[in-house]
Amino acid sequence: MRYYMFNKPRGCVTARRDERHRTVMDYFPECDRDVLFPVGRLDRDTVGMMILTNDGQSAHDLLSPKHHVTKKYRFECDEPLPLGTEERFADSITLADGYECKPAGLICDPDRLGGIITLTEGKYHQIKRMIAASGSHVTYLERISFADIPLDSSLARGEWRYLTAEEEKHLLSKTNAN
C-alpha cells in the first residue's frame, strides 16, 4: 500500500476528473492516477494537506465519523470574530440550515481575524459556514494537519511525497487496519 502527503494548491478540485478544472490527480504520475483515493476533500479555493492512498479501505476508515480523525486548519476572515466564539465552537455551533456541528477547537489570533480550527468531521463548506454563523467570512483556508500529522513545510503547493514509515504507522493507528 502507498500513502502520499500532498500540498493542494488553490484552484484544483478534489476529483478524479473534471472538464473545467485541474484535479489533485493531475499532480501525480499518470500510472498512479487510476488507483489513488483522496482521503477527504478540500474545496477548490482551500489549500494545504491532503492524504492520498491506493488503500481504499483505510481511506474509508479514516473518513468514518466513528474514528474522529482530527483535521486542523489555519483560517483568515474579513471581520473579527466576537468574544465567546471559542466557547460556541467548543459547545457545538448550529449552522444556518440547522445542522449542529460536533464540538470543534478554535484558537483565535489576537486580532480575531484568523486562527486555528480543529475538527473531527468535515461537512460541506463546514468551516466557512461556522465562521459565517459567527458573523464573518473566510478569506483564506489551509489544512495544516490531518490525523495529527502536520503538513511538511518543505512541500511547495502542488508537490507530494510518500508518508514516512512513522507517519504511515500513526495514520493507520487511526483506522481498523492497525
Q: Residue 16, Cα to own-chain centre: how many angstroms?
A: 18
Amino acid sitting at position 100 = E
Read off the pLDDT of residues 116-143 as tens digits, 9 standing for 90 and up: 999 998 888 999 999 999 999 999 999 9
Read off the pLDDT of residues 70-85 as tens digits, 9 standing for 90 and up: 999 999 999 999 999 9
Asked if 41 contacts 14 with a C-beta cutoff of 8 angstroms, the reply is: yes
What is the set of active-site residues? 43
Residue 87: φ, ψ to 5°: -70, -40
Which pTM value belongs to this model? Answer: 0.93
Average pLDDT, the chain: 92
